[in-house]
Amino acid sequence: MSDIKADSKLDTSGKCCPMPIVETNMAMKKINRGEILEITATDPGTLTDIPSWCERSGHTLMESGESDGVMQFYVKKG
Amino acid sequence: MKSLAIVVREDGYDKLLTPLAFAYLQGAEGTQVDLLFVNWAVRALTEEGAKGQVIQGEHADQDGWVRQQVEKAGLPPDIYDVIQALKATDNVNFYACSLAASIFGVNEDNLVPEASGIVGASWFLNEKAAKAEHCQYF
């Protein structure tokens, strides 16, 4: 578990591409700049998709981790 | 990526999924996506044609299973519902090729309201495909 306190959470468990990125974009629109979104995912594609999406979109991937096939990402809105 | 143009030629439930999924990804991210439906695929831009899309050929017997997997993945299982979801991003435009529309029976009366219209291929190739940052053909 991370010590980072998320302002909003999104659980995409069980869903596959394109939905984790589609839903992450939607969730990001609902939070304010500087706030943190915690994303939970089981699609292994998110391991590459989320970091590259952060880089393109100007958001900051603060932390990510994987345990038993469940990925968690903490993204600060830029 | 600022803009993406996609030409969709192949119809069939499974063959439409990839270009629609790519368009959904980029549309959700804010990319301007323009899709031109040509040949048989133009019929996917009618409600009847979209709902009638099935898996053809050697995988035809797996149509039901694929739809279940698609729903499990989080996408709407019907092509028309996917088209509506893409349109809701406000970044995706659907166009029917005028030649294909003429050949395969698509007109302004049966074109889905999510489509932006029936257009000439020349217009799409010059105004959308040539000006897009990236172009794909399916």
Give 10-residue mean pLDDT values along chain B (138 residues). Answer: 97 97 97 98 98 96 96 94 97 97 96 97 95 98
Residue among A4, A17, A19, A70 flagged as catalytic? A17
Report residue A64: phi and psi, to 5°: -145, 155
First to last CA, chain B: 19
Q: Are B12 and B53 in contact (CB under 8 A)?
A: yes
The whole-number pLDDT of residue A10 equals 98
Q: How far is CA A69 from the centre of its chain?
A: 15
Predicted interface score ipTM higher than 0.85? no
Residue A2 pLDDT greater than 90, yes or no: no
Among A16, A17, A19, A22, the strongest candidate for a mutation testing the B interface, having the largest count of B CBs within 10 A, is: A22
**A16–B73 C-beta distance less than 8 A:** yes
**B73–A25 C-beta distance less than 8 A:** no
pTM: 0.91
Diameter of chain B measured on Cα atoms: 41
How far is Cα A3 from Cα B4, in angstroms, rounded to an integer? 39
Flag whether residue A26 sits within 8 Å of chain B, measured between CB atoms. Answer: yes
The whole-number pLDDT of residue B26 equals 97
Tens digits of per-residue pLDDT, A7-45?
999 999 999 999 999 999 999 999 999 999 999 999 989
Report residue B50: phi and psi, to 5°: -65, -45
Q: pLDDT category, A1, cuts 50, 70, 90?
A: low
How far is Cα A47 from Cα B61, in angstroms, rounded to an integer? 33
Q: Are B55 and B62 in contact (CB under 8 A)?
A: yes
The whole-number pLDDT of residue B96 equals 96
Mark whether A16 is an active-site residue. no
**B72–A18 C-beta distance less than 8 A:** no
